[in-house]
Structure 1
Amino acid sequence: MPIKEGRPAMARIALIVFGILVLIVGGLAVAASLIPTETYKAEIEKQVEQQTGRKLTIEGDVGITFLPSIGAEAEKVRFANAEWGSSPDMVTMESLQVALKILPLLSGNVEISRFILVEPEINLEVNGQGTPNWQFAPMEQAAEAAPGEAAPAEEEAPAASEESSGGSGIGDISLGEVSIENGAVSYRDQQSGAVYELTQINTTLDLPSLDAPMNFDGSAVWNGDEVNLTLTAENPRVLIAGGTTAFTLDLSAPKVTTSFDGSINQGDQPKLGGEMSVDIPSVRELAAWAGSPLPEGDGFGPFNITGKVSATPEVFDFSDAELAFDGMNGTGALNADLRGQKPKITGRLDVDKIDTNIYMAGAPASSGGGDTASGGGSGGGTAPAASSEGWSDEPIDMSALNAFNADLALSAGEILIQKIQIGESALGVKLNNGVLTADLSKLALYEGAGTAKVTLNGASATPALNATFDLSGLSAYPLLRDAADFERLEGNAAMNVSVDTRGKSQKQMISALNGSGEMRFTDGAIKGINVAQLMRNVFSGALTGWNSAEAKDTDFSELGGTFTISNGILSNQDFLMLSPLIRVAGKGTVNLPQKTLSYRVEPKLAATLEGQGGETGSKGIEVPVMIEGPWAKPRFTPDLKAILSDPDGALNTIKDMDSESGKQLLEGLMGGGSSSGSSSEEDGEKKNLEDAVKGLFGR
């Protein structure tokens, strides 16, 4: 029965070994209690200074224990800063407490029962030459180097053997009470001038075993706001070995809240993967809080994003993303690349709307009432109140376009550009070094459709804009109302426009506007003006204002022309309107900066009821009218000499009317009764043309 006898023997041997260890440790403890405290302090200070070249000062008491753990405690500790540092100490702390269990070391395990830093203050600095204060020069190395010579290079350590470098050195690690109490960390970069500071740092770390979850909980104050951070790692041993383990993180602060639930890999290229969410009440406030304030202006407010993330320290990929930013909501996929001088964002987004007015300081607010981007119809016929307001002098700040670069494919349910409202659209957006290019391949605009390209250049001190539009089927009234504050025209519109401008305010941009285009309107009306009635009234005296025609409308079948714009002055030389009984030609200029016009309109009472497709050279009485003055209240004056230049045409118009009703209308306009045939035809022919014209216009 030797086996049974062997077990008590082994137990006795173990007890003997344990007893010897207890005697040794107990002896050390007794010896330590007999050694003066100043001896510990002096030796510790000496060793630290030899290894770092910096002076360590322990102003308080020092205590060392050996049972039941090897422990040390030091109070009022100071560690000197580099000579060029802004403060005399790199590290100070009220006390340091460390305790390491002895017996687990025998089996290759490390159990730290206590590691506590009380009120540590750590000052990190980089000088003007880029040298950090955590770069040390040991005294031995400095002494061996001759003056003016570099310190000798350390001998290359022999390569570790597989046995010595294997994972058999430490079986396990266990952390008990590990914490920082009321600490502070500061960072100063003398090259860039950057200064960052964390205060009121309080942390706890719980690690029962390398095979058990690690939990970290901490808080600190940054720029006046408390930041709380918690994280867990499911299997620290796998993580240390470069593998992948489950990982969660939650960070909360008044300016930002974020959470992550997935996995982490600490290999050669650290990587995160999982579900992530970020909630920022104000991007502008967050940037200022983080020490990188955005230029003054509007926008960059609330931001929220959730989705699946795959991230390295420099590249973030989001898929199945749902985001909200400045009141705009969207879904899609995004990639953020932090390499390079500026962040770059690429991907695809489907958003409900894009409101550019938010980012253009000084731009007018989007119209809240009236027709929507897809609505409008013919609109109302009420005349607007006269406006004496000019263009805004408020600065337009596009410098925020320099914050990042982007290459995005977007679809939007609505786009707002100042007062212009664009409906469902698809566009590609590229932002490169402050230049934003939006290429709209699908554009729904005021019941019509088309394509457009808009470029905003915020790269220089003076913002610039370039825009081209090719549109058809538009509702003219709401479009002109929102684009130019003009509410006098309705109908179906088609246009192509190319304009460019630059300026630091809306007023400067209007004054520098250049371009060209063509506009055609069909089946519409000029609101508030009855051209035939106007021609009758205008010769009764010069008229002022749009309402002089008794707020009636002039229907038309065709209206349009081409135009050029030079430094804010629009010139049109081929205006033409076709309407039953009326032909209107025109030419002149519109001063956009001053909101005035100087235009010659040549209405002709035509001897035909044909409208669209009718002949432009129909016979009739031409009644030229000059329209001059401000948009809101122009002045109308007649050109009598032009009317009397064709007496035969005026008389023959009445004879050549191809419709009895049209003839009656024309004669009615001339102040006569119905055509009963009782009047002598010869008397009508002998009637002096000037008297006829005067009768036509009630004079």
Structure 2
Amino acid sequence: MLRFLKWIAIAFGALIGILVLTVVFVLAFFDLNRLCEPLSAAVSKSLGREFAIRGDLTADWSWTPRFTINDVKLANARWGSEPNMFVLDRLAFAVRIPELFKGRIVLPEVSVSKPRVLLERNAKGMANWEFGDRKKEPDRAEGQISERWIPKINRLAIEDGRLMFLDPSTDTRLDMKVSTVVGASDEQAVELSGEGRLQQERFILKVRGGSVLDLWQKDRPFPVNVELKYGKTEAKVSGTVAEPLELQGPDLRFEAKGPDLAALAAVAPMWIPETPPYRFSGKITRDGERWLLKGFEGRLGDSDLTGDLMFTMRDERPYVQGDLVARKLDFKDFVGIFGADPTPSPEEPERPRLLPDKPYPVEGLRGADGEITFRSDNIVTPWVPVDDISVHLKMDRGMVTIQPVKLTVGFGAIDSNVTLNARGDTLQTEVKGKIDKVPFKRLLAGTPFEEEAAGTFFGRIHLTTIGNSVAEMAAHSDGGILILMEQGRISNLMMEIFGIDFAESLQKLIGKDPSIPVRCTIADFIVSDGVVKTQLFLMDTTDTNVLMEGQVNLATEDLDLRLSAHPKDVSPFSARNPIKIKGSLKKPRPYPEPAPLIARGAASIALGALLTPAAALIPWIELGLAEDSECHALVDAATSKEKIPQKERKQQERR
């Protein structure tokens, strides 16, 4: 739009210059109406559109002659919604003849009556302000127009102006009024205001600039004030621009607030997740072709953000770069990234599923490129206690990489690399993760089990999947998960809450210690087409081995798990029922198994019988365990155990 309006000004400046220079060398009584046809033909040929001066051309002669042009039109593109792109009822202007011989166009006054400008795009994205062949390589020097061709206007009066913008692809229709107003110092400023519709939401825009004279004053920045309302979203930009005709040297203050950032997806070229209410502010500057948002600060729900952002165009694509810090990060404010609702209404019915099923807009994920870093060391989460988080995000034509996502937990860390390929209609996702020395005690921070907990977690995760939502991704995932904990302790109370009713026997075997020593825990899962199956789940305590077997169907979210205890010594307390866990991920339902299917209290149940080569991930994953650790011994037992005959293995797996 700015380019179009600039060229309109240049075209009229050139037209005015041609008129005046022609008239200077003709007789004072020459009929200027004879120039209408050749001038119209010249402009039509230049723009590739019909341009016509249909009214009279008149002049009031002096050293500062006054000209009047009536009834001007410029045809719209062939596919346009209306015949004309630009119409003008009357243009009156005065010209200083001596300035023309100095190569400058100076207009002491300009009066414009009923200008009508229609800017629109069609469904294919073509714009009616693109003249000529849009496939033709642009001339780099095309936009380098000397300032002498831009008329200097001392006084501008716009009466009953109108600017319309239409874009069916975004369901946008704006109808703006354009006029000049007189300020307190009797200086005329341009004011644009109006309203319309943008994706079914009401859109209101008010723009006010400074005096027209300030446009040409190098030592006087041009004041700008813009107010925008879109639905319940409000934004304001105020400040000055050093060179407004070239949009150079902006010194602007930006403020915005609204109930949900996702509302901005209507005007942004990229996907924006749903968020809680927000309020942001910052300073807008420009460095060449880069627009900078410095000192960005704001609130997003209960989270407190700060940092810097940069916007530009690279290879004709929007590019955003940012470095953001959360002085406080509440995870519930960012669940929209996963497709969950960050502000659920208490009146809405409870979802039966745990995993969000809202699809990601794939086109939005490939709509812009960029690189953003994000970090915080003040984190609030109802799940895993996290002490620090850092994220590095890159977007490249639909290839989104998040490498790494690092969560610091105590003296340990959880590192993940996530890749999303959005270049097709269906997202292709790969997740690689590493759990390194995460303390069990830190995971239970703030719970009644924290004091008795001990141990360190290691692990690996590698999943690949397809799908356009978290639920769909989970339902099609493949890969494996391995988690180990060594040299740990677990609270008796925690075991009781989990329904492992052999805790009492362990207490009597090992004394009145409120916790149970855990030599090593191995949880090895294989994931195939959304079904998570236990390859091996073993908790090896000093007196008892706890096994879990079964599966979790991520497509249906159904649970089918079974926990059982294998005492290492004969004990009168060993006859306890296994625990079945049914239900769903959202509402698990544990209960004692009514008819135990295994023999209990047998000292002959050795560790080797529990570890089989079925643990598929253990042999090829280096977990950094100490050579003399209990878990290292279990891993060695699993990898060095003699092969079980195929027939016997199948029987064992069926059991």
TM-score by length of 1: 0.58
Aligned: 1:350 with 2:325: yes
Question: For residues 361 and 345 of structure 1, do their structure 2 counterparts lie closer, same or farther at Cα, with a shift above 3 Å needed?
Answer: same
The offset of 1:457, in angstroms, is 1.7
> Which whole-Å CA distance do the structure 2 matches of 1:576 and 1:120 have between them?
80
* 8 Å CA contact 1:284, 1:293 repeated in 2: no
Q: What letter corresponds to residue 522 of structure 1 in structure 2?
A: R
Q: What letter corresponds to residue 46 of structure 1 in structure 2?
A: E
1:626 alignment partner in structure 2? 578
1:122 alignment partner in structure 2? 117
> Which whole-Å CA distance do the structure 2 matches of 1:365 and 1:283 have between them?
11
Question: For residues 348 and 646 of structure 1, do their structure 2 counterparts lie closer, same or farther at Cα, with a shift above 3 Å needed?
Answer: closer
Matching residue within 524, 547, 551 for 1:590? 551
1:564 alignment partner in structure 2? 525
* 8 Å CA contact 1:628, 1:634 repeated in 2: yes
Matching residue within 183, 192, 208 for 1:229? 208
* 8 Å CA contact 1:363, 1:396 repeated in 2: no
* 8 Å CA contact 1:221, 1:227 repeated in 2: yes
> Which whole-Å CA distance do the structure 2 matches of 1:629 and 1:198 have between them?
62
Q: How does 1:23-38 map to 2 (within 5 A)?
A: none
Q: What letter corresponds to residue 566 of structure 1 in structure 2?
A: V
Secondary structure of the structure 2 residue equivalent to 1:531: coil
2:227 alignment partner in structure 1? 252
Moved more, 213-222 or 113-122: 213-222
Question: For residues 576 and 89 of structure 1, do their structure 2 counterparts lie closer, same or farther at Cα, with a shift above 3 Å needed?
Answer: closer
* 8 Å CA contact 1:97, 1:116 repeated in 2: yes
> Which whole-Å CA distance do the structure 2 matches of 1:325 and 1:424 have between them?
19
Matching residue within 480, 496, 501 for 1:531? 501
Q: How does 1:287-366 map to 2 (within 5 A)?
A: 287-288=265-266, 290=267, 298-299=274-275, 302=278, 304-307=280-283, 309-312=285-288, 314-322=289-297, 328-352=303-327, 353=329, 355=331, 357-360=334-337, 362-363=339-340, 365=342
Secondary structure of the structure 1 residue equivalent to 2:593: strand
* 8 Å CA contact 2:155, 2:188 repeated in 1: no
> Which whole-Å CA distance do the structure 2 matches of 1:511 and 1:85 have between them?
46
* 8 Å CA contact 1:113, 1:175 repeated in 2: yes
The offset of 1:94, in angstroms, is 2.9
Q: How does 1:476-515 map to 2 (within 5 A)?
A: 491-492=453-454, 494-495=456-457, 496-502=459-465, 503-513=467-477, 514-515=479-480
> Which whole-Å CA distance do the structure 1 matches of 2:468 and 2:37 have between them?
65
Aligned: 1:178 with 2:141: no
Aligned: 1:56 with 2:52: yes
2:376 alignment partner in structure 1? 412
1:45 alignment partner in structure 2? 36
The offset of 1:498, in angstroms, is 0.9
Q: Which has the larger radius of gyration?
A: 1
* 8 Å CA contact 2:444, 2:450 repeated in 1: no
Describe the superposition over 1:222-252 as per-residue Cα deviations: whole angstroms up to 9, x where unpaired: 634233132469976674xxxx864543322
* 8 Å CA contact 1:598, 1:626 repeated in 2: no
The offset of 1:435, in angstroms, is 4.5
1:517 alignment partner in structure 2? 482
> Which whole-Å CA distance do the structure 1 matches of 2:89 and 2:253 have between them?
39
* 8 Å CA contact 1:362, 1:394 repeated in 2: yes
1:694 alignment partner in structure 2? none
Question: For residues 215 and 449 of structure 1, do their structure 2 counterparts lie closer, same or farther at Cα, with a shift above 3 Å needed?
Answer: farther
Q: What letter corresponds to residue 229 of structure 2 in structure 1?
A: P
2:567 alignment partner in structure 1? 604
Matching residue within 86, 90, 95 for 1:95? 90
The root-mean-square deviation of aligned C-alpha atoms, in Å, is 5.4
Aligned length: 514
1:539 alignment partner in structure 2? none
TM-score by length of 2: 0.62
> Which whole-Å CA distance do the structure 1 matches of 2:104 and 2:396 have between them?
56
Question: For residues 81 and 406 of structure 1, do their structure 2 counterparts lie closer, same or farther at Cα, with a shift above 3 Å needed?
Answer: closer
Question: For residues 560 and 354 of structure 1, do their structure 2 counterparts lie closer, same or farther at Cα, with a shift above 3 Å needed?
Answer: same
> Which whole-Å CA distance do the structure 1 matches of 2:191 and 2:573 have between them?
90
* 8 Å CA contact 1:411, 1:426 repeated in 2: yes
Residue segments in structure 1 that go unaligned for 5+ positions in a row? 1-27, 137-165, 369-386, 482-486, 537-552, 608-618, 650-699
Secondary structure of the structure 2 residue equivalent to 1:360: helix
The offset of 1:571, in angstroms, is 0.8
* 8 Å CA contact 1:627, 1:634 repeated in 2: yes
> Which whole-Å CA distance do the structure 1 matches of 2:127 and 2:374 have between them?
46
> Which whole-Å CA distance do the structure 2 matches of 1:429 and 1:131 have between them?
33
Question: For residues 474 and 187 of structure 1, do their structure 2 counterparts lie closer, same or farther at Cα, with a shift above 3 Å needed?
Answer: same
Q: What letter corresponds to residue 306 of structure 1 in structure 2?
A: G
* 8 Å CA contact 1:276, 1:308 repeated in 2: yes
* 8 Å CA contact 2:501, 2:576 repeated in 1: no
Aligned: 1:71 with 2:66: yes
Q: What letter corresponds to residue 392 of structure 2 in structure 1?
A: G
> Which whole-Å CA distance do the structure 2 matches of 1:182 and 1:473 have between them?
71
Percent identical across equivalent pairs? 11
